[in-house]
Amino acid sequence: MANDSNLAPGLSHSMSEMVNATNTATAVHSGGLDVYSTPSMIALMESAAYKCIESHLCEGQTTVGTVVNIEHLTASPIGVQITATATIDSVDGRKVNFTVSASDNSGEIGKGKHTRFIVDIDRFMSKVQARA
């Protein structure tokens, strides 16, 4: 499974990005306003979760996201920095559950839960290619 026993509840990782013209609701076609988009916030949360456990995986492994349950609580304008944090809640075999949150300089803008599964890259991709 994982490379070491440090993959445990409490492990967390944060990532940041600026709201700009490429990650607004207008730009990603999820709405008509020039504010940070929900899909961009979710992607940043997923990236934080992925990076949280990436260095703990064995060679030939990665993780895939399977569940996203997110609330986008408030809008953030262009020019504001967004920080997403993913914290492991539990590890059950290959299943890793996270609490995720996002904030800007005014406070929390989003929160929720996210699940990722540890997979063998070659086996996973062979199943995907078999569906083609």
Residue whose pair of structure tokens reads 């569906």 in the numeric block = 131
How would you class 103 by CB atoms within 10 Å of its CB: exposed for 0-12, middle for 13-18, buried for 19 or more?
buried
- pLDDT digit string, tens, across residues 26-59: 999 999 999 999 999 999 999 999 999 999 999 9
Torsional sign, CA 11, 116, 30, 112: negative
- State pLDDT tens for residues 63-122: 999 999 999 999 999 999 999 999 999 999 999 999 999 999 999 999 999 999 999 999
Nearest 5°: the CA angle 24, 44, 23 is: 15
DSSP helix/strand/coil, 12: strand
Q: Kindly report the CA angle at 61 between 57 and 64, in degrees rounded to 5?
A: 100
As its CATH architecture, domain 12-130 has Roll (3.10)
Averaged pLDDT, 20-27:
98
Beta bridge partners of 12: 87
Helix (H) or strand (E) holding 11: none
